[in-house]
Amino acid sequence: MGRENAEQMIYVIQFLVFLIFVSSVESQLQQGFYDGTCSSAEETVRTAVHNAIQSNRGTGAGLIRMHFHDCFVNGCDGSVLIDSTSGNQAEKDAPANNPSLHGFEVIDTAKSALESKCPGVVSCADILAFAARDSVAVLGGPSWKVRSGRRDGRVSRSSDVASNIPAPTFSLQQLTQSFSSKGLSQDDMITLSGAHTVGVSHCSSFTDRLYNFNSTTPQDPSLDPNFANHLKAQCPNGTSNSSTVVNMDFLTPYLFDSTYYFNLRFGRGLLTSDHALLTDSNTATTVQTNSMNENMSWSLKFAVSMISLSEIQVLTGQQGEIRTNCHVIN
């Protein structure tokens, strides 16, 4: 082989190595994934979220919970957005999601704006990850950079929901196990439960604590009795209107602050799973620390844990698809 041929050969090899490098990078999430293909992607979502919360303050909480429920069932792949069809009951129609999950129209608004600007480019899964981040920020919480490039899944089954979404009756051990099965630590679980500092719950998620604790004791003794009375007034035994909702944080229901943890310490956590964070001395100490949020310690941890949540089992590269309409697979 002559010297020029050898040099050419080296160039070819370098180019092949470069291609392998590019394709491996392409199959990972990255910040600013849409910079070259749809530079207004994040701004468009932010505007939609901002406008929606402006007209209905409760919408932000809906979007934060929607992202969590997307990520815990088959990864953050936008599968929670898919509608049921005659042959398939989708995730959004499972009892943990219907009728309580809301905010779908915000994702639709962002998606249709993006489809007219850059058709077929921005995934529904990424729009939801951006929208959850923006909701936290608009409600006064921390913000973070979302690494994007998620692809949309093509499977959404209602039967996958109950086994993956933790129940409000869970003990500390069950909660820890549920998060651990998604690669999240017990501390991530405690940190992310702080999202219950905003939003609402239907009576049915907690009335057992008021009327049906166990066979001998109607009311959960860990509830502050005054707080229990406040809840009973809103959710009467047996006659609660099934659409009635109660604020998860009775003090600052629209602020993304550390009051959730403060409430817990005084028996004013709404769900059994909220109170469960106090049932071990180590986790109770974490609740106490988070409640003070000194130097933003909880807020900063929340941002870090949300990044982990939002990257559970993502589809990237050529996997999945970019849905045209978030409600239906292409």
Ligand X SMILES: *[C@@H]1O[C@H](CO)[C@@H](O)[C@H](O)[C@H]1NC(C)=O
Residues labelled as active-site residues:
69
201 DSSP β-pair partners = 246
Please select the residue that binds ligand HEM; options are 53, 64, 80, 110, rule is CB under 6 A.
64
- Chain position carrying tokens 């995934």: 123
Nearer to ligand HEM, 114 or 190 (CB): 190
Instruction: State the binding partner of 62 from ligand X, ligand HEM, none, CB within 5 to 8 A by kind.
Output: ligand HEM
Instruction: State the binding partner of 2 from ligand HEM, ligand X, none, CB within 5 to 8 A by kind.
Output: none
Please select the residue that binds ligand X; options are 39, 241, 282, 285, rule is CB under 6 A.
241
- Chain position carrying tokens 């049932």: 279
Work out whether 200 is an interface residue with ligand HEM (CB under 6 A).
yes
- Residue 228 tokens, joined: 């229990």
Work out whether 168 is an interface residue with ligand HEM (CB under 6 A).
yes
- Report d(CA 211, CA 208) in Å as an integer: 5
Strand, coil or helix: 239:
coil
C-beta neighbour count of 13 within 10 angstroms: 10
Nearer to ligand X, 289 or 316 (CB): 289
Contact letters (x/-) for ligand HEM, 101-120, by CB under 6 A? -x------------------
- Report d(CA 130, CA 40) in Å as an integer: 12
- Report d(CA 103, CA 249) in Å as an integer: 20
Strand, coil or helix: 182:
coil
Work out whether 133 is an interface residue with ligand HEM (CB under 6 A).
no
Please select the residue that binds ligand HEM; options are 52, 53, 90, 195, rule is CB under 6 A.
195
Contacts 24+ apart (CB under 8 A), 171-175: 171/272, 171/276, 171/279, 172/276, 172/277, 172/279, 172/280, 172/283, 175/273, 175/276, 175/277
Work out whether 294 is an interface residue with ligand X (CB under 6 A).
yes
Work out whether 201 is an interface residue with ligand HEM (CB under 6 A).
yes
- The least distance separating ligand X from the CB of residue 66, rounded to whole angstroms, comes to 22
Q: Which of residues 205-234 bind ligand X (CB under 6 A)?
A: 211, 214-218, 221
- Report d(CA 328, CA 330) in Å as an integer: 6
- The least distance separating ligand X from the CB of residue 244, rounded to whole angstroms, comes to 6
200 DSSP β-pair partners = 247
Contact letters (x/-) for ligand X, 42-61, by CB under 6 A? --------------------
Residue ranges that bind ligand X, judged by CB under 6 A: 211, 214-218, 221, 237-238, 241, 243, 294-295
